[in-house]
Amino acid sequence: MIGVDPAEYSKSRRCAGCRLPPSLCICDQIEPVETPFELILIQHRSEVRSVSNTGTIAAAALEPSQRIIYEGTSNPRIEAALAGDGPSLLLYPVPQAREISPADLEPGTRLVVLDATWRQARRMYRKLGPLRGCRAVTLPAGAAPRWVLREQPSPGMLGTAEAIAAAMDALGCTDEAAGLRRTLDLAMPRALHALAKITLDEALDPNFRACAPAPPPYPPEQEEE
Ligand SMILES: [Zn+2]
């Protein structure tokens, strides 16, 4: 049995590299994948220590990549990340988005991904002006999830890392996508184990939350609009 101490699974103990509990950390097994584009992962604060988050692992595996925490309307890091030459492909299904294809892969291409719930992503898109200067793209129809760690708005929708892998396939980076999926296949059983352990602890011990260490030092999200 792994990690019998509930504190092992608390949010404050999660690995900063892979966001899994320390006993389940896969950081030394993440397969580095070089890509002909830069991944810009804009991550909502609530995803930073979520065991069901997969964007962090994708950002750790892909090179080059940047993982930027969403901090509201103004974020100089996001503006700087999107400012270079080459197109910024925003993987987000706005009405004007079109299906991503190998023709989108140009020198200096950036793949911009919002790592958040759909509701949070809608707010991020509305708040972050630089995103509206990106080329919005969608995944080809038919990409099916291999791993489902959280409920999606409709069946067949992909988690962040699997969506990135599907976009890589569509760009023609199939070998690189396979490398990312190999890392996910290592990480996801551990994430499922952690989710099951956390759920069981909370179900069996009504004081679990009260006994857990203090939450991470992130300010509560401002309620917006
Ligand atoms: Zn780790």
Residue 63 CA, ligand 1 centroid: distance in Å:
17
pLDDT of residue 155: 53
Distance 54 CA to ligand 1 centre (A): 12
* C-alpha 61 – ligand 1 centre gap (Å): 12
**What is the reported pLDDT for 145?**
72
- Weakly modelled stretches of the chain, pLDDT under 70: 1-9, 147-156, 202, 205-225
Question: How remote is the CA of residue 27 from the centroid of ligand 1, in Å?
Answer: 4
Which are the contacts of 166, defined by CB distance < 8 A and separation ≥ 6?
A: 139, 140, 143, 158, 177
Q: What is the pLDDT of residue 51?
A: 83
Report how far residue 187's alpha carbon sits from residue 83's, in angstroms, rounded to the nearest whole number: 33
* Predicted local distance difference test score (pLDDT) of residue 154: 62
| C-alpha to C-alpha distance for 1 and 215, rounded to whole angstroms | 25
Give 225 Cα–ligand 1 centroid separation in angstroms: 36
Q: pLDDT, tens digit, for every residue of 113-167?
A: 999 998 999 999 999 999 999 999 999 987 777 766 666 656 557 899 999 999 9
Dihedral sign (CA 168, 174, 176, 177): positive
What pLDDT is attached to residue 3?
A: 43
The pLDDT score that the predictor gives to residue 225 is: 38
Q: Give distance in angstroms: CA of 107 to centre of ligand 1.
A: 32
Can you give the pTM of this predicted structure? Answer: 0.83
pLDDT of residue 207: 66
Domains along the sequence of the chain with CATH: 6-187 (3.40.1280)
- Output the pLDDT for position 2: 43
